[in-house]
Amino acid sequence: MQVQALTGGFDDAPRAAAIAFRAMLEAMARPGRIFDIAGAAPPAPLSVAAGTALLVLADGTTPVHLAGGHDTADLRDWITFHTGAPLCGRAEASFAVGGWQALLPLDDWRIGQPDYPDRSATLIVEMAALVPAGARLTGPGIETEHRLGLPEVAGFRANAALFPLGLDFLFTAGARIAALPRTTKVEAG
């Protein structure tokens, strides 16, 4: 294990985790809105926002999958040290992080079961930037509509059609986060 794995966690864990958790709750409650989130300093290529989300959400009972270029020794060591989360394959993941293409196909991930729709995966999609323009979002938590630049529309529309089953998404770029729960309807912008 490299020394880098031992650094980059929360400086004041209770306070930083509470602030970050609140930002993620706001993002999930208001799909498509972009929020600032910080506290972690993970190794590249993981963004500050994605690293912070993993520090808050992952623990020894939540398997994490690192997709594509995010599957590095430094990142595996960092997640293991700071969260204790087991690293796993796609089919077992509670959380997965990577670029959009690395996370495809969406059919690889757990979508829950009729009796337990919460037993699904949350995908943390690393983006170059988050912009409040593009796809039109409607549904719970959105008064009229929100706009968010998404990597595509078809996959998110198909996912919403699975409700109450389906995937939830967190989009991260730098120190910013936005969410797209399975209840959100997505149309081309």
Predicted pLDDT at 16: 87
The structural domain count of the chain equals 1
Residue ranges making up the domain that contains 154: 3-187
Predicted pLDDT at 13: 79
Predicted pLDDT at 54: 98
The rounded distance, in Å, linking the Cα atoms of 189 and 1 is 46
The rounded distance, in Å, linking the Cα atoms of 143 and 33 is 12
Predicted pLDDT at 132: 97
DSSP reduced 3-state for 12: coil
Give the CA distances from residue 172 to residues 30, 38, 50, 130, 180, in Å, rounded to whole numbers and listed in that order. Answer: 15, 11, 6, 7, 11
Predicted pLDDT at 158: 96
Entry pTM: 0.95
What's the CATH number where 28 sits?
Answer: 3.40.50.11310
Q: Running along the chain, 189 residues long, what does each successive block of 10 average in pLDDT?
A: 64 87 97 96 96 97 98 96 97 98 97 96 98 97 96 96 97 98 94
Predicted pLDDT at 30: 97
Predicted pLDDT at 3: 55
Query: Is 42 within 8 Å of 2 (Cβ atoms)?
Result: no
Residue 132, Cα to own-chain centre: how many angstroms? 18
